[in-house]
Chain A
Amino acid sequence: MKQNSDPEWFTGDFAIDLALVRNEIGHNSDVHFREFHIGGTDVCAAIIFVEGLTDRELIDKHIIKSLMMSFTGGAVSRDFITNRVLSIGEVAEEQALKSLVAKVLTGSTALLIDGLPNALVLGTTKEKSRQIEEPVSEATVRGPRLGFTETLCDNTALLRQHGENASLSFMKLQVGQRTKKELVIAYIKDIADPDLVEEVKKRIQNIKADDVPESGYVEQLIEDNYLSPFTQVQNTERPDRVFSALMDGRVAILLDGTPFALIVPVTFSMMLHSPEDYYERWLPSYLFRLLRYLAAAISLFGPSLYISFVSFHQGLIPTKLALSIMGTRDGVPFPAIIEALIMEVTIEILREAGLRLPKQIGPTIGIVGGLVIGEAAVQAGIVSPIMVIVVALTAISSFAIPQYSAGISLRLLRFPAMFSAAVFGLYGVVLFALFLCSHLVKLKSFGVPYVSPIIPDRLTNWTDFMIRMPLKKIKRRMKPISANGSTRKK
């Protein structure tokens, strides 16, 4: 045998091979070695498996029992053992020590038999997975109650289960240089732009990280512009959302160990869409979508507009309103910007605190915080009641955005908008808007401009943008994304 001298390869000699494996992983307390004799013969054999990762019942009944009890004569040959003795679905041969060890550590069982040149690897993995539950971060009133789990194969299965589609393709890759993790790129073969799939693959293969614990790592390592405040990759826990994205020619990335799938490319308007938009009838969906655009605008510009009108242009608001605002601000010792900052920061702290608390205490914080903000601060004369309204409205608006990460971006950008308004008033708000737009038009997500259908250069692109036309009218996929921009229904 040619690899005789190489310690990385099996020799075929039972004692040496076993020692080789023991040497490699024998020091681990959870690795079990079980040596025995096959059937009535004197042939030595050993199985090696990791406790907890493997299905003990399977090992006991279908490997050990078969080999020890059901072995009814015949020569101990590889073919005989695999074809007649082992009643197990997945059997493979392995020559190299390293890959054998890798497989054992992910839940397979290794079988070494004296006289056989190679080790056998038996699929005995028992997935540690939880029940499929409704996604917590993206609740909907109507729609499937399924959410992804931490197990990759469950997630791909959920996508397959969505419906029979022979074109649904999964490309498996490994990420992480020290800790290898499985990652699947999902796309619909005859819809997705092959260049896009290739680009996604290339960027993922370029990831240089020891370990990729969550898809957020992948997201940050493949995005186009890491300086931008906007997320350029969409994440979701919902299989139906992923599937409809795939049907639009986009590409999904599923990582083992996290329920959050990534979708690329993404445009700004997608951040304001919810899968429910398509499940409800078009008229309410259309109005809700408009409402979300409004909410996005408020959460971005609400406080800054208030600041600019109160501090600079009282003349531009109705006289009565101006008077009543001035009246309530009477006695507030701070300029509007400081007042707004106090309230905004308080609300952000409350939100952050509420996030970390156990579910039972969360509402308490809400009540206490609400009281403190709403009543006490006003009565103490620190802020004016109108400011409370503005800040509360802004905070609620930012939570109305279906994509959590997009909501964060807008909340973040609210602060520079406020400073800009404090310096230049309405002009400052306009400047900030122009700056933001200048940034947005330059931003791209996987080659697709971030603010894609702006004006109806193709009317068809508008059937599903700010407005959501009746489903019967949405016939085309969005042009910039799908290369094969064929009609949705054939």
Chain B
Amino acid sequence: MLAMSGSSKDRITNLQAAVILVNYILAAGILTLPRTSVEKVKTPDVWITVIIGGLITMIAGVIIVKLSQRYPEKTFYQYSGEIVGKWIGGLLSILIIAYFFTISAYEVRTMAEVTGFFLLEGTPTWAIIMPFMWIGLYLIIGGITPLARLFEMIFPVTIIIFLLVAFLSLGIFEFNNLRPVLGLGVIPVLKGIKTTALAFLGTEVMLLLVAFMKRPEKAVKVVLIGVTVPMVFYVITVVMVIGALSIDGVTTRTWPTLELMRGFEIPGLIFERFESFLLVIWIMQIFTTFTITYYAAALGLSQLLKKDIQPFIYALLPVIYVIAMIPKNINDLFHMGDMVGNVALLLFAVLPLILLLISRLKKGGKA
């Protein structure tokens, strides 16, 4: 009957796919993007850079989708061999798997740093990380469907709380901090594109997700929606943060978005300070990013070796933990983030295009 008797492959709706994409993209960036982008751009035009970054990501995402659509019901791990041969394909898959579990570790560690700093001073990092990872393990043992459903639960909560918090911070918003628009021309805007584009990392999950979709032919729309929503989030974030803290204030703060929340109090409400709300949804967002990358890595290993996924899920847990514990301090961590970002740029902006061209030339896949 109902899914219980059939062992048919898990399927997700297109809406779920879009929600997964949004949740994946929204992660550490909400807290750091204002700083990282302003450091590069140095003018208040960051929001333009964010939009351009989003558009570029969309293009990359569409390329990835076009590639995946040529091989219906197959993930990248399964079809890469068909395009460039078993060995190179396997190598690419391993690279991507490594990327996924590294980013997974990166997200966990970032979460631990922020939580340790704002909520649990003095609590050792391992104690923060471990229960978080166990819960992630518990979730993804169930496969992609529970994952998608949990994301669906977290998504509306995120939107509501985020908009509420952003709206409340209007009180200290200074429009002058955002002017002049394009005062120094277009060049500074372009300097930050790489940074903002990296904040949108996440479309690479479409390499796998298209294979799970009930209606993969609509995957392009999924990418467009899935990138637009975080783009709106990011634009609101940078506009509000820069508007409140000014560009000079942004660069001196490690977590400018949280500082913004600390910067105002609304007397009379039960909670005068709202950073706890933002932290709660942010931890949930990190959880979604962590689980989907964790799952993507485990899925890759299982499909590459053609074995059951469960042992890989368990085996990856200590690996991710060890990687998460490698950075000694927060600067190390940000350095690691930059490194992963550069790899991602190569892997997911350039590679899919090349593969798509090869695939077309070889007339591989589904015409």
Residues of A within 8 A of B (CB): 193, 195-196, 198-199, 224, 312-313, 315-319, 321, 424-427, 430-431, 434-435, 437-439, 441-442, 444, 446-449, 451, 454-455, 457
Tell me how far the C-beta of B168 lies from the nearest C-beta in chain A, rounded to whole angstroms: 14
Top 9 A-B residue pairs of the complex, sorted by shortest distance between their CB atoms: A447-B2, A195-B1, A438-B139, A441-B149, A441-B146, A318-B272, A442-B142, A454-B152, A316-B276
B138 on the interface (CB 8 Å rule)? yes
Contact present for B119 and A426 (CB under 8 Å): yes
CB contacts (< 8 Å) of B287 on chain A: these are 434
A447-B271 CB under 8 A given contacts A312-B120, A438-B139: no
CB contacts (< 8 Å) of B131 on chain A: these are 424, 431
| A444 to B3 Cα, complex, angstroms | 10
CB contacts (< 8 Å) of A455 on chain B: these are 15, 19, 152-153, 155-156
CB contacts (< 8 Å) of B1 on chain A: these are 193, 195-196, 198-199, 447
Tell me how far the C-beta of A449 lies from the nearest C-beta in chain B, rounded to whole angstroms: 6
- Please pick, from A317, A318, A434, the residue contacting B135 in the complex, using a CB distance under 8 A: A434
CB contacts (< 8 Å) of A446 on chain B: these are 2, 4
Across the interface, name the chain B residue whose C-beta is closest to A420.
Answer: B131
CB contacts (< 8 Å) of B275 on chain A: these are 316
| A434 to B139 Cα, complex, angstroms | 9
Contact present for A438 and B15 (CB under 8 Å): no
Query: 18 A-B contacts, Cβ less than 8 Å apart?
Result: A224-B4, A312-B119, A313-B276, A317-B270, A318-B265, A318-B270, A318-B271, A425-B120, A427-B128, A431-B135, A434-B284, A437-B153, A438-B139, A439-B138, A441-B149, A447-B1, A454-B156, A455-B156
A427-B149 CB under 8 A given contacts A438-B138, A447-B1: no
B279 on the interface (CB 8 Å rule)? yes
B91 on the interface (CB 8 Å rule)? no
| A95 to B34 Cα, complex, angstroms | 88
B343 on the interface (CB 8 Å rule)? no
CB contacts (< 8 Å) of A448 on chain B: these are 2
Contact string, B109-123, partner A, CB cutoff 8 A, digits 1/0?
A: 000000100011001
Across the interface, name the chain A residue whose C-beta is closest to B291.
Answer: A438
A451-B270 CB under 8 A given contacts A316-B276, A427-B283: no
CB contacts (< 8 Å) of A438 on chain B: these are 135, 138-139, 142, 146, 150
CB contacts (< 8 Å) of A224 on chain B: these are 4
- 17 other contacts beyond A318-B273, A442-B146, with CB at 8 A cut-off? A199-B4, A199-B5, A313-B276, A315-B273, A316-B275, A317-B270, A425-B120, A426-B119, A427-B120, A430-B284, A438-B142, A442-B139, A451-B153, A454-B153, A455-B152, A457-B15, A457-B16
Size range of the interface on B? 35 or more
CB contacts (< 8 Å) of B2 on chain A: these are 193, 195-196, 199, 444, 446-448
B280 on the interface (CB 8 Å rule)? yes
B-side interface mostly: helix
Contact present for B142 and A441 (CB under 8 Å): yes
| A199 to B3 Cα, complex, angstroms | 12
| A455 to B267 Cα, complex, angstroms | 33
Tell me how far the C-beta of A315 lies from the nearest C-beta in chain B, rounded to whole angstroms: 8
CB contacts (< 8 Å) of B153 on chain A: these are 437, 441, 451, 454-455
CB contacts (< 8 Å) of A195 on chain B: these are 1-2
- Please pick, from A435, A451, A457, the residue contacting B138 in the complex, using a CB distance under 8 A: A435
CB contacts (< 8 Å) of A313 on chain B: these are 119, 276
CB contacts (< 8 Å) of B120 on chain A: these are 312, 424-425, 427
| A454 to B147 Cα, complex, angstroms | 13
Tell me how far the C-beta of A215 lies from the nearest C-beta in chain B, rounded to whole angstroms: 22
| A451 to B139 Cα, complex, angstroms | 15
A425-B119 CB under 8 A given contacts A199-B1, A313-B276, A454-B152: yes
Contact string, B239-256, partner A, CB cutoff 8 A, digits 1/0?
A: 000000000000000000
Across the interface, name the chain B residue whose C-beta is closest to A199.
Answer: B1
Q: Which of B129-155 contact A (CB under 8 A)?
A: 131-132, 135, 138-139, 142, 146-147, 149-150, 152-155
B176 on the interface (CB 8 Å rule)? no
Contact present for B273 and A454 (CB under 8 Å): no
Tell me how far the C-beta of A276 lies from the nearest C-beta in chain B, rounded to whole angstroms: 27
CB contacts (< 8 Å) of A312 on chain B: these are 119-120
B342 on the interface (CB 8 Å rule)? no
- Please pick, from A315, A321, A430, A444, the residue contacting B280 in the complex, using a CB distance under 8 A: A430
Contact string, B218-253, partner A, CB cutoff 8 A, digits 1/0?
A: 000000000000000000000000000000000000
- Please pick, from A199, A318, A431, A442, the residue contacting B267 in the complex, using a CB distance under 8 A: A318
Contact present for B150 and A437 (CB under 8 Å): yes
- Please pick, from B139, B271, B279, the residue contacting A317 in the complex, using a CB distance under 8 A: B271
Tell me how far the C-beta of B93 lies from the nearest C-beta in chain A, rounded to whole angstroms: 28
Contact present for A454 and B276 (CB under 8 Å): no
Q: Taking each of B16, B119, B142, which has the highest tally of chain A beta carbons within 10 Å of its own beta carbon?
A: B119
Across the interface, name the chain B residue whose C-beta is closest to A443.
Answer: B146
| A446 to B265 Cα, complex, angstroms | 48
Contact present for B152 and A316 (CB under 8 Å): no
Across the interface, name the chain B residue whose C-beta is closest to A317.
Answer: B271
Tell me how far the C-beta of B22 lies from the nearest C-beta in chain A, rounded to whole angstroms: 11
| A232 to B170 Cα, complex, angstroms | 45
Tell me how far the C-beta of A238 lies from the nearest C-beta in chain B, rounded to whole angstroms: 26
CB contacts (< 8 Å) of A425 on chain B: these are 119-120
Tell me how far the C-beta of B197 lies from the nearest C-beta in chain A, rounded to whole angstroms: 28
Tell me how far the C-beta of A279 lies from the nearest C-beta in chain B, rounded to whole angstroms: 29
CB contacts (< 8 Å) of A317 on chain B: these are 270-272
Q: Which of B276-303 contact A (CB under 8 A)?
A: 276, 279-280, 283-284, 287
| A419 to B53 Cα, complex, angstroms | 43
| A364 to B139 Cα, complex, angstroms | 47
| A193 to B13 Cα, complex, angstroms | 22
CB contacts (< 8 Å) of A430 on chain B: these are 280, 283-284
| A318 to B274 Cα, complex, angstroms | 11
| A446 to B5 Cα, complex, angstroms | 10
| A422 to B276 Cα, complex, angstroms | 17
CB contacts (< 8 Å) of B150 on chain A: these are 437-438, 441
| A246 to B265 Cα, complex, angstroms | 51
CB contacts (< 8 Å) of B283 on chain A: these are 427, 430
Contact present for A424 and B15 (CB under 8 Å): no
| A312 to B119 Cα, complex, angstroms | 8
Contact present for A451 and B3 (CB under 8 Å): no
CB contacts (< 8 Å) of B270 on chain A: these are 317-318, 321
| A321 to B156 Cα, complex, angstroms | 30
Contact string, B75-105, partner A, CB cutoff 8 A, digits 1/0?
A: 0000000000000000000000000000000
| A5 to B112 Cα, complex, angstroms | 83
Across the interface, name the chain A residue whose C-beta is closest to B281.
Answer: A430
Across the interface, name the chain B residue whose C-beta is closest to A309.
Answer: B276
| A318 to B268 Cα, complex, angstroms | 9
Across the interface, name the chain B residue whose C-beta is closest to A436.
Answer: B135
Across the interface, name the chain A residue whose C-beta is closest to B150.
Answer: A441
